[in-house]
Amino acid sequence: MSLNNIQIRKTQIEDFYAITEIHEQAFCNKKEPELVANLLDDESGKPLISLLALHNGQPAGHILFTRAYFDGQSRQPVMYILAPLAVKPEFQCRGIGGALIKAGIRLLQEKGTNLVFVLGHKDYYPRYGFLPHAA
């Protein structure tokens, strides 16, 4: 499979089932799909960026970026949290996660985002410019 067969687009309300299915299969539990559902419904995390990767029209991966704020500060930098990122097991290790990260970061840069935080694998995310243990 090449990334030529991958389409990445913003999610729509009718993608909800596919999104939760991706996360359930990727993480083998119900916790991540519930987290995604809660984040998609949480007004404090908006505006958000939710992207779906399709391989030949089949849902293969999903990424979510939610808006973040510092408590008690009147001036807020534009910052987001990347969480979660999921790719169905049969599509993992083929560049789909990285393509989702890059597409999301590109959209965030267009919005003037100053910072993106992620809590994730220390060897994976630095490939895409994230600094481990950033202060």
Domain ranges of the chain: 3-128
* pLDDT above 70: percentage of residues in the chain: 96
Say how far apart CA 48 and CA 40 lie, in whole Å: 8
Peptide bond into 89 cis (omega under 30): no
- pLDDT for position 2: 55
Query: Are the C-beta atoms of 93 and 127 separated by less than 8 Å?
Result: no
Which numeric CATH code is attached to 3-128?
Answer: 3.40.630.30
Q: What is the mean pLDDT of the chain?
A: 93
Q: What is the pTM of this model?
A: 0.93
Alpha-carbon dihedral sign for residues 77, 69, 51, 129:
positive
Segment 46-63 mean pLDDT = 96
- pLDDT for position 4: 74
